[in-house]
Every structure is written in C-alpha cells, then in structure tokens.
Amino acid sequence: MLTYSSTRGGGDKINAAKAIIKGIAEDKGLFVPSEIPKLKVPVEELAGKTYQEIAEIVIGQFFDDFTEEEIKHCVYSAYDSKFAAEEIAPIAKIGAEDPAYILELYHGKTAAFKDMALSILPYLLTTAMKKENETAQIAILTATSGDTGKAALEGFADVPNTQIIVFFPEEGVSEVQKRQMITQEGENTHVFAIRGNFDDAQTGVKNIFADGDFAQDLLEKGYKLSSANSINIGRLVPQVAYYVYSYAKLVEVGEIKAGEKINITVPTGNFGNILAAYYAMEMGIPVNRFICASNENKVLTDFINSGIYNAEREFHITNSPSMDILISSNLERLLYHLSGMNGDEIKAYMKSLDREKKYEVSGEIMKKLQCFFGGFADQNKTLTAIGEVYDNNGYLMDTHTAVAYSVYKDYVRETGDKTKTIIASTASPYKFAAAVSHGIGLDIEISDFHYVESLYDETKVPVPEGLKDLDKKEIRHKDIIEVSRMKDYVWNSLK
Ligand SMILES: *Cc1c(COP(=O)(O)O)cnc(C)c1O
C-alpha cells in the first residue's frame, strides 16, 4: 500500500484516507505519496474508456486504502449530470495546420476547472471519515483566488458533518466570481472577503492549520480542520485523471498514436493543475514538455528560467485573477520529487521562502526542471489571443486559457517544437465576461452581468446554468474582514 508523508520530512507516514482528512502535514509540508503508481492498464487499453472508468483507475491506484466499491461510489457520485458535457472533459481541436487541443475542464457546476476535483473531494472526504471512524466534524478552510471558493462551497454545501469556510480577496476576484460566492446557499457555508490578496489569504489559512493550540480548542468543540485547496492530496489526485483521459481520447480518435509524446500547456497559479499533469507523466503518459503559463505575476516563469524563486516583487491584479499568485504551493511537491524525495532539502527552501521571500534550487533540480518551459502573457497579449482565436477559429476562450494559448504560441515560435499539444482550458469565458468581451471587441457595458448578456448575443456560446441570473440571487454573506482576524472568524463560524 502507498503511504503519504510530508514534503518537509516531518511526521508519520499515513494512509490516503488520513492524509485527505488532515489536508496539510503538521510541519506545514504537503502530503506526497511514497511513490507515483504506474498505470496498471496500458495506454492502448485506456483508449475508448469513459471519463469515469479512467478516473476510477487513476484515483484507485493513488488511494489504494479505499476499496473498489468506495472509489466507484465517489467517482460516479461526482461525475454525473452535474456536468454540462457528457464526456465531462471534452476536447476542442482548433486550427487546421498544427492544431491545438483545448481540454475543456469547465463544464462543472461553477464553470471553472476546480469542479473537476471539488465535485469528488466531498465524497472522498466523507468516505475517508467513515473508514477512519472519525467522530469530529470536519471544517474545511479554503483560501481562494476566485474559483476554488465557489467550487468548494458548491461541493460541500449541506454535506453532513462538514462546515465550509472560504476566504477570498475583496479586490482580487471578478464580479461574477464574487457574486457566485456571496450568494451561496447551505447551512454549513461561511464566506468572508478579506482586506488583502490571495497570498495573504493562503498564508492566513496555512498559519491557522499550523496553530496546535487552536486545533486543540477546536477539537474540544468537536471540529477538525481540513483543506479544499490543492494542498490537499484529495484535490490533486482527481486532477491527474483528466490528463490520462485526454491522452487516451486523442489516441481513440486517431489524433495521436499510443506511445507518441505530447506537450501539455497549463495556465498556472498555485501549480496544482500542472503538477497533476506531471503526475500523469509519472504514471506513464508520454510527455515531451510541460509549458507553464503565467500572467504578469510571473514568478514561475522566472523560476523555471533561473532556478531562483523570488516572491519579493510587485503583486499585479490582472484580467486572469485566478492566477494572481506569488506563492505557488504545489511547486513544493514537484521540488520534493525532483530532489529525490529529500525532505530536509525542501524544508530548507521553504524556510528561506518564509524568511527571505526567496530560495535557489540545486543544480540537480535545475537539470530535471528542464522538462518544464516557463513563459508569461501580459493582459494585452491575453486579450489579443482571445480576439485572434475567436476571429480565426470561431472559438471563445476565457482569459486564463488565453494566457496559456499565448504562451504556447510563443513556445512554438521560440523552439520550433511541433509536438502535439493539449492546452488546459480552466474556465468558462462567461466567468470573465468583461475582459473576454473586450478581447473580441464588443462595446463597453455597465457591469459583468450585462457583459454576460451581450457576450451571449454576439457569440451564442451557451451560458453555464450556474451563471444565469446570478445578479438576481440574494446576497447571504456580507462580511469583509482584516487578515489578522481570520482565526476569530473561523472560531465564531463553528458553533
Ligand atoms: C485555479 C485556476 C488556475 C490556476 O490553477 P493552479 O492549479 O492553481 O495552478 C487557472 N485558471 C483558472 C480559471 C483557475 O480557477
């Protein structure tokens, strides 16, 4: 059986169920598997399987303390008609010559790729609680740059024995994202805007997790904390499934041959999505290069090019707000794997990041990092990409996907590499309706909600169900709080 332990070397080796319940390790490290399992079914045989069948295989191999029935229950409860696309993650091919394959990960309830994992996490967590005879209620703490919050709220709303608490940056999310969160229904949902950015929210949440006394006090009230951020391994592993699925799908429809290497481009913030792609490669999916696309907050671009991670820089609020992040948590997991699972080394990097806001990785890690290409697109390039793809291909992308597309184009120009490429498309264009409308040259509207209407009138791309009539829903969460008070609000939310 696989065991899970901290990237920073501390604490015990535990099973997947316990790691999912805990969310983050006691030494603030992230849980990683003792090894990344090799796919037990060869790629040729995966071609033709449904999303659910592939998810069962992938998730079952990582969470091998769950029974087959338990995994089946989780997978089929999560990936059902909640998704607006029967394939769950359909692929759009754009461009006749050197086509790109856009993997649409946003057909879940909240119209962003976070649904891919957050529709299953509540089932994985409640199953884990049963397996471990957990008697406490689980309180999910979540920092969000806009999309995780809503997807977590939607996933956990009214799930028995759970509470869900979300912190989002007051000024750092789109109008649609904010409205989705503050109108959330469900007796166990708690949503707070913070005066700060995403990194402040994420650091605040991590500090609450690391506060042993607070955990003890909460336990006396009957609560344990867990996380719905991609620091939770229960978030990350379900995301591996769609990379395996998309590869199998391209083989099935004859776009690639089994065994042929592909590139994978991912619009990146917290590094969870692209790390899932790396895990898929380690499982056996043939990958040539990972293209890591950033917006103006290009800390990862600089890191991949220099080996120096430097978070001491200006923070930009951009038109791809879900990637406005300077501390990419999941990079820690990649470094752990690239270091040959050296917890002490990772602990030293993270200590340096805490104290000096930066660290430099070893030459050994730098060498292995070469399978990643890093690039970025500023806001103008992002809008240009939306306009170009819409004009040339009649295909509408959101701003995050456009960042990825733009960096992918730069990569091809720079390297001449013609390897077939999957581009992860992470949100519906309607979530960022204002920016997308500007990208395709529509007139100025008064609010995001008017943009949704005019964008539909122009493009006839269907509006996701969950985004319709958002502006007419009752606002249920009104608190705006200081970062320093996050802990108090957690305490008061848990009765
Ligand atoms: C969260 C998010 C990202 C970034 O994904 P990471 O896993 O944090 O790197 C990109 N695009 C959208 C729309 C998102 O919601």
In single-letter form, the type of residue at position 151 comes to A
How far apart are the CA of 324 and the centre of ligand 1, in A? 9
Say how far apart CA 4 and CA 25 lie, in whole Å.
10
pLDDT digits (tens, 9 = 90+) for 467-485: 998 989 999 999 999 999 9
269 CA: nearest ligand 1 atom = 9
Average pLDDT of the chain is: 96
Give the C-alpha distances (Å, rounded to integers) separating 124 from 24, 80, 203, 268, 414.
16, 16, 25, 25, 42
Residue 5 burial (CB count, 10 A): 22
How far apart are the CA of 400 and the centre of ligand 1, in A? 8
pLDDT digits (tens, 9 = 90+) for 36-71: 999 999 999 999 999 999 999 999 999 999 999 999
How far apart are the CA of 320 and the centre of ligand 1, in A? 9
pLDDT at 163 > cutoff 90: yes
pLDDT digits (tens, 9 = 90+) for 5-40: 999 998 899 999 999 999 999 899 999 999 999 999
Pocket test for ligand 1, best of 266, 322, 382 (most atoms within 8 A of CB): 322
239 CA: nearest ligand 1 atom = 7
The mean pLDDT of 252-281, rounded to a whole number, is 97
How far apart are the CA of 132 and the centre of ligand 1, in A? 31
Give the C-alpha distances (Å, rounded to integers) separating 419 from 203, 415, 474.
38, 11, 49
How far apart are the CA of 427 and the centre of ligand 1, in A? 9
Q: How far is CA 407 from the centre of its chain?
A: 19
pLDDT for the residue 444: 86
How far apart are the CA of 112 and the centre of ligand 1, in A? 8
pLDDT digits (tens, 9 = 90+) for 123-147: 999 999 999 999 999 999 999 988 9
How far apart are the CA of 142 and the centre of ligand 1, in A? 14
How far apart are the CA of 426 and the centre of ligand 1, in A? 7
Pocket test for ligand 1, best of 273, 299, 329 (most atoms within 8 A of CB): 273
Quote the tokens at residue 341: 């699972």
On whether the CB atoms of residues 20 and 234 are closer than 8 A, the answer is yes
pLDDT digits (tens, 9 = 90+) for 422-469: 999 999 999 999 999 999 999 888 888 899 999 999 999 999 999 998
Pocket test for ligand 1, best of 199, 400, 423 (most atoms within 8 A of CB): 400
Instruction: Please list the residues that pair with 287 across neighbouring strands.
Output: 262
Pocket test for ligand 1, best of 180, 426, 428, 436 (most atoms within 8 A of CB): 426
How far apart are the CA of 131 and the centre of ligand 1, in A? 31
Nearest CA to ligand 1 atom 8: 270
How far apart are the CA of 166 and the centre of ligand 1, in A? 16
Q: How far is CA 213 from the centre of its chain?
A: 30
Burial of 352 (0-12, 13-18, 19+ CB in 10 A): middle
H, E, C per residue of the chain: CCCEEECCCCCCCECHHHHHHHCCCCCCCCEEECCCCCCCCCHHHHCCCCHHHHHHHHHHHHCCCCCHHHHHHHHHHHCCCCCCCCCCCCEEEECCCCCEEEEECCCCCCCECHHHHHCCHHHHHHHHHHHCCCCCEEEEEEECCCHHHHHHHHHHCCCCCEEEEEEEECCCCCHHHHHHHHCCCCCCEEEEEEECCHHHHHHHHHHHHCCHHHHHHHHHHCEEEEECCCCCHHHHHHHHHHHHHHHHHHHHCCCCCCCCCEEEEEECCCCHHHHHHHHHHHHCCCEEEEEEEECCCCHHHHHHHHCEEECCCCCCCCCCHHHCCCCCCCHHHHHHHHCCCCHHHHHHHHHHHHHHCEEECCHHHHHHHHHEEEEECCHHHHHHHHHHHHHHHCCCCCHHHHHHHHHHHHHHHHHCCCCCEEEEECECHHHHHHHHHHHCCCCCCCCHHHHHHHHHHHHCCCCCHHHCCHHHCCCCCCCEEEHHHHHHHHHHHCC
In single-letter form, the type of residue at position 495 comes to K
427 CA: nearest ligand 1 atom = 13
Pocket test for ligand 1, best of 177, 198, 270 (most atoms within 8 A of CB): 270
Closest Cα partner for 135 from 105, 161, 171?
A: 161
Question: For the chain, how far is it from start to end, CA to CA, in angstroms?
Answer: 38
pLDDT for the residue 97: 81
- Lining ligand 1 with CB less than 6 A are 112, 114, 147, 230, 267-273, 322-323, 400, 426-427
Say how far apart CA 420 and CA 286 lie, in whole Å.
12
273 CA: nearest ligand 1 atom = 7
Say how far apart CA 116 and CA 154 lie, in whole Å.
12
pLDDT for the residue 174: 86
How far apart are the CA of 401 and the centre of ligand 1, in A? 10
The mean pLDDT of 207-212, rounded to a whole number, is 92
270 CA: nearest ligand 1 atom = 8
H, E, C per residue of 298-351: CHHHHHHHHCEEECCCCCCCCCCHHHCCCCCCCHHHHHHHHCCCCHHHHHHHHH
Q: Give the contacts of 355 (CB within 8 A, at least 6 positions apart).
A: none
Give the C-alpha distances (Å, rounded to integers) separating 181 from 82, 167, 442.
18, 10, 27
145 CA: nearest ligand 1 atom = 1
How far apart are the CA of 322 and the centre of ligand 1, in A? 6
How far apart are the CA of 53 and the centre of ligand 1, in A? 25
275 CA: nearest ligand 1 atom = 7
Burial of 355 (0-12, 13-18, 19+ CB in 10 A): exposed
Pocket test for ligand 1, best of 268, 275, 279 (most atoms within 8 A of CB): 268
Q: How far is CA 325 from the centre of its chain?
A: 12
pLDDT digits (tens, 9 = 90+) for 335-381: 999 999 999 999 999 999 999 999 999 999 999 999 999 999 999 99
Nearest CA to ligand 1 atom 14: 322
Burial of 260 (0-12, 13-18, 19+ CB in 10 A): middle
